[in-house]
Amino acid sequence: MRRRTVVLALAAAATGLVRGQPARKPRIAVLSAPPLPNPMTEAFRRGMRELGYVEGQSVEIDVRSVNGRPERFPALAAEVVKSHPDVIVAGGGTPSVTAAMSATRSIPIVFPASGDPVAEGLVRSLAQPGGNVTGLSILAPEVSGKRVQLIKDLLPRVKLIAILQDPVLRAGYDQIGATEQAARELGVQILTLSPAKPEEYDSNYAIAKNAGADALIVLPSSAFNANRERLVAMSEKHRLPTVWEHRLFTQSGGLVSYGPDIPELYRASGRYVDRILKGAKPAELPVERASKFDLVVNLRTAKSQGVNVPQSVLVRADHVIQ
């Protein structure tokens, strides 16, 4: 009888019922590039709420940011792993995901928005990620050519387009290749610039302007996204019409953006977290590809930069900022 009592007590302890204490809540660690709060991490929280999770009651969400400094991700990821979360949501692009992968091979990792996770070495394939990593892909190289065409539509006489790319991202070179090919087909030259840190943004804009660039394309990057207010200010200062990667830039005053709704992808990443908490393995969860790309036009910025947005662009726009 005594042995049966001990077994029951151990079972109760395992389920968190001893002395009325609740079972341990699952813990989600979220890595972020921009300062907090920001639209991406708030969208993830919203996605978890929509799935029935109540922060502080049925789940704990620990959000930490590198405040626009992707080079700090390795230290932050190592710190987060020591707290033993059940899942890590590696927001902030490739630098965040690779830092989390280096810190743990056992804790599940979900990336909300990766350009090309296969090319970046994050997963084995989209259908079978393998390892402890999965998530959503924005497939950035596939839209690079459309951004060049968008500039051609806005500025028919464009001769030189400057590209701002993050030197940290290997996938950035794929995007450059796609952009250069599209430019050649349209008879436009490309000038590639690679600022390594925010302090170099102004000088790179000056280089583009002095070289005679008619416009600028800013390629996808967590560092650029984290510093979008600064970059948008540079485009305005140098009066350089710019095509951005997604609507957060145009909402911050950028001219035109074409790309996926990044906060929506963060919201959708909650579905991966939910399935993992219910027992699914990241290796068995296929990477989901972004299916919707938004064109957003800011007419206030167009007016200030002297750009006449043609009706052919306006009718295609998903949103126009008046």
Domain range list for the chain = 2-138+262-289, 141-259+294-321
* Lowest pLDDT segment from 6-15, 28-37, 39-48, 289-298: 6-15
- pLDDT, one tens digit per residue, over 70-93 is 899 999 999 999 999 999 999 998
In one-letter notation, the amino acid at residue 103 is A
Exposure string (b/e) for 57-72, b if CB count within 10 Å is 16 or more?
eebbbebbbbebbbee
Question: In the chain, pLDDT over 70 holds for what percent of residues?
Answer: 91
Mean pLDDT of 205-213: 97
Does residue 13 carry a pLDDT above 50?
A: no
Q: How many angstroms separate the CA atoms of 76 and 74, rounded?
A: 5
**For the chain, percent of residues with pLDDT exceeding 90:** 76
Out of 3.40.50.2300, 3.40.630.10, 3.40.50.620, 2.40.37.10, select the CATH number for domain 2-138+262-289: 3.40.50.2300
User: Average pLDDT in the 43-51 region?
Assistant: 98
pLDDT of 9: 43
| Cβ contacts of 76 within 8 Å, gap of 6 or more | 31, 64, 66, 99
Min mean pLDDT across 32-46, 214-228, 296-310 is at: 214-228
For the chain, the helix, strand and coil percentages under 3-state DSSP, each to the nearest 5? 45, 20, 40
Between CA 285 and CA 270 the distance in angstroms is 13
Kindly report whether the peptide bond that precedes residue 195 is cis, defined as omega within 30 degrees of 0.
no
**How high is the pLDDT of residue 77?**
98
Q: pTM for this one?
A: 0.84
Pairwise CA distance, residues 274 & 278, whole Å:
6
Task: Band the pLDDT of 18: cuts 50, 70, 90.
Answer: very low
Fold observed for domain 141-259+294-321 = Rossmann fold (3.40.50)
E strands along the chain, which residues?
Answer: 27-32, 60-65, 87-90, 109-114, 133-137, 160-164, 189-193, 215-218, 242-244, 256-259, 288-289, 294-298, 319-321
**Is the pLDDT score of 304 beyond 60?**
yes
The average confidence (pLDDT) of the chain is 90
Highest mean pLDDT among 44-53, 175-184, 222-231: 44-53
* pLDDT, tens digit (0-9, with 9 covering 90-100), for 252-303: 999 999 999 999 999 999 999 999 999 999 999 999 998 889 999 999 999 9
Q: Look up residue 70 and give its two tokens.
A: 């992707």
96-110, 172-186, 281-295: lowest mean pLDDT where?
Answer: 172-186
pLDDT of residue 222: 82
Say what the pLDDT of residue 268 is.
97
Cβ(93)–Cβ(138) under 8 Å? Answer: no
pLDDT of the residue at 8: 43
- Position 171 scores a pLDDT of 55
Would you state the pLDDT for residue 16?
Answer: 45
Whether residue 97 contacts residue 74, with contact meaning beta carbons closer than 8 Å, is answered with no
Q: What is the DSSP string of 82-111?
A: TT--SEEEE-SSHHHHHHHHHH-SSS-EEE
Reported confidence tier of residue 177, pLDDT bands at 50, 70, 90:
confident
In this chain, the answer to whether the domains covering 2-138+262-289 and 141-259+294-321 adopt an identical fold is yes
What pLDDT, on a 0 to 100 scale, did the predictor assign at position 141? 63
